[in-house]
Structure 1
Amino acid sequence: MHQELFNYILKYSNQKLSNEQKTLIEEIWYPKKLKKKQFLLQEGEICRFASFINKGAIRQYIVDDSGKENIVQLAIENWWITDRESLFNQIPSKYYIDAWEQTEVLLLKYKNLEKFQTIPAVKEMFWKMNQNNHIASQNRLIDSVNHSAKENYTKLLKTNPDFIQRFPQHIIASYLGITKETLSRVRHQLVK
């Protein structure tokens, strides 16, 4: 179950993992299975782990004052999902994180984060992940402000086509910050 995590680390690092390092990772990362719609984290809870998705699909969202869900992140196999602010500051979360499909994750408890980061390949991986995450967040914000719904949907089709197959239209619309009616019109235009 840990092989996908090993592969991910090596993908973002020029360094190898020793057998001892792999054993440490296996000891501190534990598997968890989630049923569809089962929560990994709920608003108000303190996030106590980082999550790596081995199999399945997860969404992270907030619920506004009117009760509407607003998707902030979608994640599938070989993606990470957590509430960084809650995890690193050990404060109550603003988010809900739940499984959209039956999902298998590996969890790293907050107390084991330092042990994990002592591994040189992991340090390098985290550095690259943080850079990529920051750039992606900036680009998503710029896209939401400067581009049309059609442009943003087309970009999503190119960059994350699996999202379109695995999440329903109303989830995709929320992720893009548009109504499902607008998304329906955009999809109809693209078919023509």
Structure 2
Amino acid sequence: MHEQLITYIEERLERPLGDDDISCIKEAFVIRKLRRHQYLLQQGDVCNWAGFIVKGALRLYSVDETGRENVLGLMIENWWAGDRESFLNGTPSPYSIDALEPTEILLVNKEAHLAKLRDRPFMKELIRILTERQAIQLLRRVHTTKTMTAEQRLADLENTYPEFLQTLPAAAAGILSGYDKGNFQPGQGQLDSSGQHAKTLT
């Protein structure tokens, strides 16, 4: 399973990793399997890990004081999962993450990251690349939310991330692009134009 993460990193760095770096990755990342609906992170807990999804799909959401769930992001194979602010600052997370389907994820805890990965050149370069992409995605998200209808956001999602509609149930893709969770029917155009187009770091 580590080979999938190693390939992911090498594709983004556009060069192969050295044997020492590969050994470090295999030592630092451990596999965890989640059942459908099983929590990876619960709201109020500190996120002490970063995760790379090998197989399956996760949902990131918060629950407000009325008990309503607000879905903020969906994550699929070859995407990262976690709460970066909670991870870096050691603060309780306002989010929960659970599995939409049986999921396998490679996790690195904060102690292993600090001791084995953070100062390695390949990890510094990877974090820089992913941070740049995240900034671009955030600006794009604001733009699509302000300028597109929910139907247009779904089309944009399909064009930008076709793997979502190949991997996730239609209703889940609808949540992500702004369809109303309760009203969405696959193949029909019942829209809630107040929804947001949420994406996570890849």
Return the TM-score normalized by structure 2: 0.85
> 1:100 aligns to what?
100
Equivalence for 1:22:
22
- What is the DSSP-based 3-state SS (H/G/I as helix, E as strand, rest coil) of the residue aligned with 1:12? helix
**SS of aligned partner of 2:13:** coil
- 1:120 is aligned to 2:121: yes
What's the CA shift for 1:7?
A: 0.6
CA–CA separation in structure 2 for the residues paired with 1:54 and 1:183: 28
Structure 2, unmatched stretches of 5+, are 191-202
Task: Give per-residue Cα distances to partners, 1:79-108, cap 9 Å, x unaligned.
Answer: 001101111000000001011111100001
| Aligned-residue offset at 1:24 | 1.1
In the aligned structure 2, how far is the partner of 1:6 from the partner of 1:138? Answer: 29
Which runs of no fewer than 5 residues in structure 1 stay unpaired? none
Indicate the structure with greater helix content. Answer: 1
Native 8 Å contact 1:144 1:176 kept in 2: no
Higher mean C-alpha displacement, 117-126 vs 18-27:
117-126
Residues 135-180 of structure 1, C-alpha deviation per residue, up to 9 Å, x if partnerless?
1112112211211111101111112233234434443343234424
Mapping of 1:167-182 within 5 angstroms?
167-180=168-181
> Partners in 1 of 2:178 and 2:170 — Cα distance?
12
The 10-residue stretch of structure 1 (39-48 or 58-67) with the greater mean CA deviation from structure 2:
58-67
Query: Which has the larger displacement, 117-126 or 24-33?
Result: 117-126
CA contact (8 A) 2:171 2:186 kept: no
Percent identity, please.
35
Hey, what does 1:158 align to over in structure 2? 159
Q: What displacement does 1:33 show?
A: 0.4
**Matches of 1:185 and 1:148, distance apart in 2:** 18
The yes-or-no answer on 1:86 pairing with 2:80 is: no
Q: Which amino acid aligns with 1:139?
A: R
User: Counterpart amino acid of 2:63?
Assistant: V
Does the residue aligned with 2:126 lie in a helix, a strand or coil? helix
8 Å CA contact 2:59, 2:98 repeated in 1: yes
> How many corresponding residue pairs?
189
**RMSD value, Cα:** 2.1
Name the amino acid aligned to 1:11: E
Query: For the structure 1 residues 147 and 14, does the alpha-carbon distance in structure 2 shift closer, same or farther, using more than 3 Å as the test?
Result: same
**Alignment partners' CA distance in 1, 2:97 and 2:158:** 23
- 2: CA distance, partners of 1:68 / 1:58: 18
